[in-house]
Amino acid sequence: MTEFAPLHGLIGGALIGLAAVLLMLTLGRIAGVSTISFGLLAPADSANRPWRLAFLVGLPLGALLVTMFGLKDWSTLTFPASVPVTIVAGLLVGIGTTYGSGCTSGHGVCGLARLSPRSLVATITFVAVAAITVFIFRHLMQAP
Protein backbone atom coordinates (compact mmCIF):
# COMPACT_ATOMS: atom_id res chain seq x y z
CA MET A 1 0.00 0.00 0.00
CA THR A 2 1.24 3.48 -0.75
CA GLU A 3 1.12 6.33 1.70
CA PHE A 4 -1.00 9.39 0.87
CA ALA A 5 1.23 12.40 1.52
CA PRO A 6 -0.09 15.46 -0.33
CA LEU A 7 2.24 17.89 1.46
CA HIS A 8 5.30 15.87 0.48
CA GLY A 9 4.01 15.70 -3.10
CA LEU A 10 3.44 19.45 -3.16
CA ILE A 11 6.91 20.18 -1.83
CA GLY A 12 8.54 17.68 -4.19
CA GLY A 13 6.63 19.02 -7.17
CA ALA A 14 7.56 22.59 -6.30
CA LEU A 15 11.23 21.62 -6.04
CA ILE A 16 11.11 19.83 -9.40
CA GLY A 17 9.49 22.89 -10.95
CA LEU A 18 12.07 25.18 -9.36
CA ALA A 19 14.91 23.03 -10.69
CA ALA A 20 13.40 23.07 -14.18
CA VAL A 21 12.99 26.86 -14.10
CA LEU A 22 16.54 27.38 -12.81
CA LEU A 23 17.98 25.17 -15.55
CA MET A 24 16.02 27.10 -18.17
CA LEU A 25 17.00 30.50 -16.74
CA THR A 26 20.68 29.71 -16.24
CA LEU A 27 21.51 27.51 -19.23
CA GLY A 28 18.48 27.83 -21.48
CA ARG A 29 17.97 24.06 -21.32
CA ILE A 30 14.90 21.91 -20.72
CA ALA A 31 15.14 19.56 -17.75
CA GLY A 32 14.37 16.39 -19.67
CA VAL A 33 16.27 13.59 -17.95
CA SER A 34 16.45 11.31 -20.99
CA THR A 35 17.78 14.07 -23.25
CA ILE A 36 20.28 15.14 -20.60
CA SER A 37 21.39 11.49 -20.20
CA PHE A 38 21.72 10.85 -23.94
CA GLY A 39 23.61 14.14 -24.33
CA LEU A 40 26.10 13.02 -21.71
CA LEU A 41 27.01 10.10 -23.97
CA ALA A 42 27.47 12.23 -27.11
CA PRO A 43 31.20 12.66 -27.80
CA ALA A 44 30.68 15.88 -29.81
CA ASP A 45 28.96 17.61 -26.87
CA SER A 46 31.86 17.65 -24.39
CA ALA A 47 31.32 21.34 -23.49
CA ASN A 48 27.95 20.46 -21.94
CA ARG A 49 29.19 17.38 -20.12
CA PRO A 50 29.85 19.04 -16.70
CA TRP A 51 26.35 20.45 -16.16
CA ARG A 52 24.74 17.27 -17.49
CA LEU A 53 26.78 15.15 -15.10
CA ALA A 54 26.01 17.48 -12.18
CA PHE A 55 22.29 17.30 -12.98
CA LEU A 56 22.26 13.49 -13.11
CA VAL A 57 24.39 13.08 -9.97
CA GLY A 58 22.08 15.50 -8.17
CA LEU A 59 18.97 13.38 -8.84
CA PRO A 60 19.65 10.69 -6.21
CA LEU A 61 21.16 13.21 -3.79
CA GLY A 62 17.66 14.30 -2.72
CA ALA A 63 16.89 10.81 -1.39
CA LEU A 64 20.31 10.68 0.24
CA LEU A 65 19.75 14.00 2.02
CA VAL A 66 16.29 12.92 3.19
CA THR A 67 17.84 9.75 4.58
CA MET A 68 20.76 11.56 6.23
CA PHE A 69 18.43 13.95 8.03
CA GLY A 70 16.20 11.10 9.16
CA LEU A 71 13.14 12.40 7.33
CA LYS A 72 12.32 9.04 5.76
CA ASP A 73 13.00 5.46 6.77
CA TRP A 74 13.79 3.46 3.64
CA SER A 75 14.50 0.19 5.49
CA THR A 76 11.06 -1.23 4.62
CA LEU A 77 11.33 -0.32 0.94
CA THR A 78 10.87 -3.33 -1.31
CA PHE A 79 11.34 -3.72 -5.03
CA PRO A 80 9.12 -6.55 -6.26
CA ALA A 81 10.42 -6.74 -9.84
CA SER A 82 13.18 -9.16 -10.77
CA VAL A 83 16.42 -7.97 -12.34
CA PRO A 84 15.52 -9.26 -15.84
CA VAL A 85 12.12 -7.52 -15.69
CA THR A 86 13.81 -4.32 -14.54
CA ILE A 87 16.31 -4.48 -17.42
CA VAL A 88 13.58 -5.08 -20.00
CA ALA A 89 11.48 -2.26 -18.51
CA GLY A 90 14.48 0.10 -18.66
CA LEU A 91 15.12 -0.77 -22.29
CA LEU A 92 11.46 -0.20 -23.14
CA VAL A 93 11.54 3.19 -21.42
CA GLY A 94 14.67 4.10 -23.39
CA ILE A 95 13.05 3.08 -26.66
CA GLY A 96 9.89 4.98 -25.75
CA THR A 97 11.76 8.16 -24.91
CA THR A 98 13.60 7.93 -28.23
CA TYR A 99 10.40 7.53 -30.25
CA GLY A 100 8.54 10.08 -28.11
CA SER A 101 11.34 12.65 -28.42
CA GLY A 102 11.58 12.97 -24.65
CA CYS A 103 10.54 11.60 -21.30
CA THR A 104 8.02 12.41 -18.60
CA SER A 105 10.18 15.17 -17.14
CA GLY A 106 10.82 16.85 -20.48
CA HIS A 107 7.25 16.58 -21.77
CA GLY A 108 5.25 16.35 -18.55
CA VAL A 109 7.00 19.03 -16.53
CA CYS A 110 8.68 21.37 -18.99
CA GLY A 111 6.62 20.81 -22.13
CA LEU A 112 3.27 21.24 -20.42
CA ALA A 113 4.56 24.37 -18.69
CA ARG A 114 5.36 25.78 -22.15
CA LEU A 115 1.87 24.73 -23.39
CA SER A 116 3.38 22.46 -26.02
CA PRO A 117 0.68 20.46 -27.88
CA ARG A 118 3.19 17.68 -28.63
CA SER A 119 4.02 17.43 -24.92
CA LEU A 120 0.32 17.26 -24.04
CA VAL A 121 -0.16 14.30 -26.39
CA ALA A 122 3.01 12.63 -25.10
CA THR A 123 2.01 13.09 -21.45
CA ILE A 124 -1.50 11.76 -22.03
CA THR A 125 0.08 8.76 -23.77
CA PHE A 126 2.53 8.16 -20.86
CA VAL A 127 -0.25 8.26 -18.28
CA ALA A 128 -2.63 6.09 -20.32
CA VAL A 129 -0.01 3.42 -21.00
CA ALA A 130 1.04 3.44 -17.33
CA ALA A 131 -2.57 3.01 -16.19
CA ILE A 132 -3.16 0.17 -18.67
CA THR A 133 0.09 -1.53 -17.62
CA VAL A 134 -0.79 -1.36 -13.93
CA PHE A 135 -4.27 -2.71 -14.65
CA ILE A 136 -2.90 -5.62 -16.69
CA PHE A 137 -0.26 -6.56 -14.13
CA ARG A 138 -2.50 -6.15 -11.08
CA HIS A 139 -5.75 -7.59 -12.39
CA LEU A 140 -5.20 -9.76 -15.45
CA MET A 141 -1.87 -11.41 -14.67
CA GLN A 142 -2.57 -12.42 -11.08
CA ALA A 143 -1.70 -15.97 -10.09
CA PRO A 144 -4.79 -18.15 -9.49
Tell me whether residue 59 is in a domain: yes
Instruction: Give the HSE-up count for residue 50: Cα atoms under 13 Å, Cβ half-sphere.
Output: 2
Q: Residue 1 falls within a domain, yes or no?
A: no
59-84 b/e (C-beta count within 10 Å ≥ 16 → b): eeeeeeeeeeeeeeeeeeeeeeeeee
Q: Which domain holds residue 96?
A: 6-140
pLDDT of residue 138: 82
Higher pLDDT: 69 or 124? It is: 124
Q: What is the mean pLDDT of the chain?
A: 85
Any alpha helices (H) in the chain, and if so which ranges? Answer: 6-27, 33-41, 49-68, 83-99, 112-113, 117-135
| Cβ contacts of 37 within 8 Å, gap of 6 or more | 52, 56
49: Cα within 13 Å, side-chain hemisphere = 7
Query: What is the number of structural domains in the chain?
Result: 1
Residue 36 domain flag: yes
Q: Is the pTM of this model over 0.75?
A: no
Q: Give the mean pLDDT of 7-20.
A: 88
Residue 49 lies in a domain: yes
One-letter identity of residue 50: P
